[in-house]
Amino acid sequence: MTADVADRAALGLNGAFVAGLAVSAGLLLVVLALSLLQGVVPLTTADVLAALSDPHAEARASILVWDLRLPRAGLAALAGACLAASGVLLQGALRNDLADPALLGVGAGASLLVALGVMLQPANLAAMPGFALGGGLAVGLIILAAAQVFRDTARIILVGAALAALFSALVVALIVLANAFQLRVVYAFLVGSLIGRDASDFLRLLPWAAVLLPATLFFVRGLDALRLGEEMAAGLGVNVFRFRLLLMLAAIGLVAPVVATCGPIGFIALVAPHLARAILRGTDAARVLPLAMLIGATLLATADLLAREALSPAELPVGLVVTALGAPAAILLLRRHLAGHTA
């Protein structure tokens, strides 16, 4: 390839990258604005703007915006970005574009420990991300071990599916043993929900996201190298095993606090990176990662808006909306990939 063609190819990708970022950022803003305006009590644009400019006003609009709608919409967007980033990292670590923390059982493992935590220490909400991290890590290490032993990536996903079945069964066991007070809380860890989440939940997720989301950008060169193959990556100076472990840890560090605040939410981590790669028509991690994060944020914020408004005044758990939209998308992706690979 001549330098000229390479330049133009880079430019083309750049164009798609910038356009993709702009479009999804625009969509995200629209969704966030709608999240502030819509609700059981509709607000006018003037109300929202007035409330936003003066957080300490005692007006009803100010309370609705600052205490309820903004934290929840922000949590949805942040959680979506974390899930999407974890999807990119997991897919890179396992060299499998079908990897998804929910399909692999990482979400179920985290849910199990959070549900246990709710039963053992109901008051200690701050410890929940830690519990989730423990459960997610346990599953993640099993998956990583399976990935070391078995080259066949479809089988690794089967291991994950089996672990997910096992841990989900154990979560239900906990629910059955829970008293009525704990039941509702634990039930949220079966479907994933943002109902009633407020600023404290947002603040619990924020430090993890603030540290780990930018940190993922340090992985981009390694991700690109690993995509070329393990030998190639080793040749390029990547310590493959250590790097995979690091990717896995970071991915689980991103998923676990999301599970702890919102419950297990599937499919975003699978679909957002795919959309990003499709828009970019490439796999350049430095571009896929930020675009996937923005797309994930938009997807989850949109899903939560739908969950709030579809049956208003009743609310759906957002996990159900994500499943309803994500499962058909996942079926399409899986069929396209596996049909080719497992002949």
Partner 1 sequence: MSVRLLWPGLTALLLATAAAQLAIGTVAIPLAEMPDHIILHAVRLPRLIVVVLSGAMLGLAGALLQTVTRNPLAEPGLMGVSAGAVLAIVAMIIAASRAEGLGVVRETGWHLGLAGVAGGMAAGALTYALSRHQGTSRPILLVLMGVLVAGSASALTSVLLLTADESQLRLVLHWTIGSTNGRGWVHVEMLLPYAAAGLAMGLLSAGVANALQLGAGVAAGLGLRVEHARLLLIFAAAVLTAGAVSVVGGIGFVGLIGPHLARMLVGNDARRLFPAAAVVAALLLTLADLGARTFPLGWIEAWTRSPVPAPTGLPVGVITPLLGVPFFLWLVFARRERA
Q: Does 177 bind partner 1 (CB under 8 A)?
A: yes
Quote the least distance from Cβ 249 to partner 1, whole Å: 24
The span from the CA of 175 to the CA of 75, in Å, is 26
Copy the structure tokens of residue 247: 């990717």
Instruction: Collect all residues with Cβ–Cβ distance below 8 Å to 301 and sequence separation of at least 6.
Output: 28, 31, 32, 35, 73, 76, 77, 80
Q: Does 175 bind partner 1 (CB under 8 A)?
A: yes
User: Which residue from 19, 40, 165, 278 is in contact with partner 1, where contact means CB under 8 A?
Assistant: 165
User: Which residue from 23, 161, 203, 206 is in contact with partner 1, where contact means CB under 8 A?
Assistant: 161
Quote the least distance from Cβ 156 to partner 1, whole Å: 10
- Judged by CB, which is closer to partner 1: 225, or 330? 330
Write the single-letter amino acid at 49. L
Dihedral sign, Cα of residue 204, residue 209, residue 215, residue 221: positive
- Judged by CB, which is closer to partner 1: 230, or 315? 315
Segment interacting with partner 1 (CB under 8 A) among 17-25, 42-50, 130-138, 167-175: 167-175
Q: Does 141 bind partner 1 (CB under 8 A)?
A: no
Contact 89, 255 (CB under 8 A): no
Contact 305, 294 (CB under 8 A): no
CB atoms within 10 A of CB 174: 19
245-274 residues labelled b (16+ CB within 10 A) or e (exposed): ebbbbbbbbbbbbbbbbbbbbbbbbbbbbb
Q: Does 145 bind partner 1 (CB under 8 A)?
A: no
Quote the Cα angle for 196-202-206, to 5°: 160
User: Which residue from 187, 227, 282, 283 is in contact with partner 1, where contact means CB under 8 A?
Assistant: 187
Contact 89, 285 (CB under 8 A): no
Q: Does 40 bind partner 1 (CB under 8 A)?
A: no
CB atoms within 10 A of CB 184: 10
Segment interacting with partner 1 (CB under 8 A) among 1-9, 54-62, 73-81, 310-318: 310-318
- Judged by CB, which is closer to partner 1: 30, or 161? 161
The span from the CA of 56 to the CA of 233, in Å, is 54
Contact 126, 298 (CB under 8 A): no
Q: Does 180 bind partner 1 (CB under 8 A)?
A: yes
- Judged by CB, which is closer to partner 1: 55, or 196? 196
Q: Does 179 bind partner 1 (CB under 8 A)?
A: yes
**Cα distances (Å, whole numbers) of residue 321 to 32, 40, 214, 266:** 17, 19, 28, 10
Quote the least distance from Cβ 163 to partner 1, whole Å: 7
Q: Does 173 bind partner 1 (CB under 8 A)?
A: yes
User: Which residue from 19, 29, 59, 162 is in contact with partner 1, where contact means CB under 8 A?
Assistant: 162
- Judged by CB, which is closer to partner 1: 66, or 187? 187
Kindly list the residues in this chain that would bind partner 1 in the complex (CB under 8 A): 103, 119-120, 150, 154-155, 157-159, 161-166, 169-170, 172-173, 175-180, 182-184, 187, 190-191, 266, 314, 316-317, 319-320, 323-324, 327, 330-331, 334-335, 338-339, 342-343
